[in-house]
Amino acid sequence: MQNPYIPYPVVVDKIITEVDTKDIKTFRFKFVNPEDEAKYSYIPGQFGELSIYGKGESPIGIASSPTQKGYVEFTVQKAGVVTSALHEMEEGTVMGLRGPLGNSWPLEFLEGKNIVIVGGGFAFTTLRSLINYMIHDDNRKRFGNITVIYGARNPGLLLYKDELTEWGKRSDLNLNVTVDKGDANWKGREGFVPAVCKEVAPSKENAVAVICGPPVMIRFTLPVFFDLGFSKENIITSLEMRMKCGVGKCGRCNVGSKYVCKDGPVFSLAELDKLTPEY
């Protein structure tokens, strides 16, 4: 029996500073024991508990896609004890990784449908995992049109800039990047995510919207999708809660009878409606 509380040893392979403010970095981990990688088979939308010596654990969504072999990536904002310690880490350090935990983006449900992905700010990480999974050569034909709407406060805060450039060149992906306020070098779109959604106006036909972002963005984006005719079953989002164990036992992340760590973090709006509004 695998003890779900014991982390796999991983080595920090690469650290990429994502944003100008330097408080969001992407960490690439490699497993110390190669056999652990197979055990850590995950699906986009799941999360892991990053475990740092003497500091504790922090639940973070997996930012890489399972199609990217040999490593796992997490994009982490510096905030609390663990994430601050993580930001101090150097490449080559060994730390712990637990998981994969939680459910995932509902890939089977998404299959054969047109996908609209809406992300805001730092919450784009697990969406990136999903996008990379879907556009992989092995998987691309399983999904219909893919529309991505991604916004950040300013160009400096956009994550995965190189990848965004790559995606922009693709013909099988409709990428819309926007910033609230551009700078002198910004040639792209300006405007808030809800407004861009309205402008792009993805069709509701056979479509699913996957939305992830700060609460205020979600609050204004949802009405746009309702206006476009999306049903609550076809809007999917991911919740965040304070977590410790990650396996539905320690008792703090429940929303009603559901544990966000075990039964979530991904819920459709229809499912969320059934839960108590305590998140």
Partner 1 sequence: MENIETKLREEAKRLLLEKKADVIIGYEKGTLPLTATPCFITTPEEADKLVWNDLCTQNLAKFVHDLITAHKNSQKRVKPEDRKKKIIGVVARGCTTRSLIIHLQERQYGRDEVYIIGVPCTGYVDSKGLKAAINGADIIEGSIEGEKIKMKTSAGEKSVALKDVLADSCRTCRFNNPIISDVMVGNLAPSMNPDSEYDDVKDFEAKSIEERWAYFTKEMEKCIRCNACRQACPSCYCPTCFVEQSQPQWVGIGEDKTDTQVFQFMRLYHMVGRCVDCGSCVAVCPMGVDLRKFLKKIDKDCWELFGNRAGSSLEDMPPLGKYNEHGDKEDFIFNP
Partner 2 sequence: MEKCLIKKDALAGIAKKMTENFLVWAPVKKEDNILFVPLQKGTEPFFAYLNSKNAPKNVFFPHTETMMKYTRTEKGMVFSEDENKAAESVLFGVRPCDAHSFVLLDKLFDQEKYKDGYYIAKRQKTTVISLACVKPPYASCFCTSVDGEPVSSEGADILLTDIGSYYLVEFFTPKGEKLVKYFGDTKADTAAETKKNEIAAKAKAAITSKIPAHVVKPILDKNFDNPFWNTIHGKCLACGTCTYLCPTCHCFDISDEVKGTDGVRIRSWDSCMFPMFTKETSGHNPRPSQKERWRQRTMHKFKYYVDNFNAISCVGCGRCVMYCPVNIDIRKIIEDISKL
Q: Which residues bind partner 1 (CB under 8 A)?
A: 80-81, 84
Beta pairing class for 174-179 and 189-190: parallel
244 binds, among partner 1, partner 2, none (CB under 5 to 8 A by kind): partner 2
CA 248 – CA 9 distance, rounded (Å): 23
The reply to whether 201 sits near partner 2 by the rule CB under 8 A is: no
CA 53 – CA 131 distance, rounded (Å): 32
> Hunting for tokens 């075990």 — which residue is that?
262
The reply to whether 34 sits near partner 2 by the rule CB under 8 A is: no
Beta pairing class for 47-52 and 56-61: antiparallel
| Candidate segments 94-102, 105-113, 128-136, 199-207, binder of partner 2 by CB under 8 A | 94-102
127 binds, among partner 2, partner 1, none (CB under 5 to 8 A by kind): none
State which of positions 52-91 bind partner 2 (CB under 8 A).
52-57, 79-80, 83
Q: Which two tokens stand for residue 218?
A: 């979600």
Which among 213, 266, 257, 259 is positioned nearest to 239, based on CA atoms? 266
Smallest gap from residue 134 Cβ to partner 2 (A)? 27
State which of positions 215-274 bind partner 2 (CB under 8 A).
240-242, 244-245, 247-257, 262
**HSE (side-chain half, CA atoms, 13 Å) at 232:** 7
7 binds, among partner 2, partner 1, none (CB under 5 to 8 A by kind): partner 2
CA 66 to chain centroid: 13
Residue 122 is classified by DSSP as G
Residues that bind partner 2 (CB under 8 A): 1, 3-7, 9, 11, 32, 52-57, 79-80, 83, 93-96, 240-242, 244-245, 247-257, 262, 276-279
